[in-house]
């Protein structure tokens, strides 16, 4: 019985680790801004259209999370370059980061805290309201 429990826990640990994507990492807004400014990364905003229209990071690309998987062909040119995913707070962009990593993108980053943290750090955005 104890051996079965150990085996079950080992299998569970392997499955959990397999589900974690080692190809994604978080970056702070300041790190992201530096990478973007130095043209070492692109920023992909995965918020909805209405959110994008109110405020966004100048020069960022925009593909809503629900469309990322079906629009990978638009991103394939960045497959081996740093791609920073961004949303409002970092949750949707974490999902998008997983989609890109699973699709073979090699340098995927999630903007920690999203555009809220970007604003909090005093970094510039385009505001349309």
Q: Of residues 75, 87, 100, 115, which has the active-site annotation?
A: 87
Instruction: Dump the DSSP string for the chain.
Output: -HHHHHHHHHHHHHHHHHHS-TTEEEE-HHHHHHHHHTTS-EEEE-S-HHHHHHEE-TT-EE--HHHHGGGGGGTGGGTTSEEEEE-SSSHHHHHHHHHHHHTT-SEEEEETTHHHHHHHTT---EE--
Active site residue 87: yes
Catalytic residues: 87
């Amino acid at each position: 019985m104890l051996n079965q429990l150990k085996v079950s826990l080992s299998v569970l640990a392997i499955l959990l680790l397999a589900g974690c994507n080692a190809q994604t990492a978080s970056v702070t807004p300041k790190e992201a801004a530096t990478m973007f400014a130095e043209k070492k990364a692109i920023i992909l905003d995965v918020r909805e259209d209405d959110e994008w229209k109110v405020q966004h990071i100048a020069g960022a690309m925009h593909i809503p999370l629900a469309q990322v998987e079906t629009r990978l062909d638009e991103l394939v040119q960045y497959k081996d370059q740093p791609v920073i995913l961004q949303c409002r707070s970092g949750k949707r962009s974490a999902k998008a980061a997983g989609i890109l990593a699973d699709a073979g993108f090699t340098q995927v980053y999630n903007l920690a805290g999203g555009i809220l943290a970007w604003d909090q750090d005093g970094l510039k955005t385009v505001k349309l309201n």
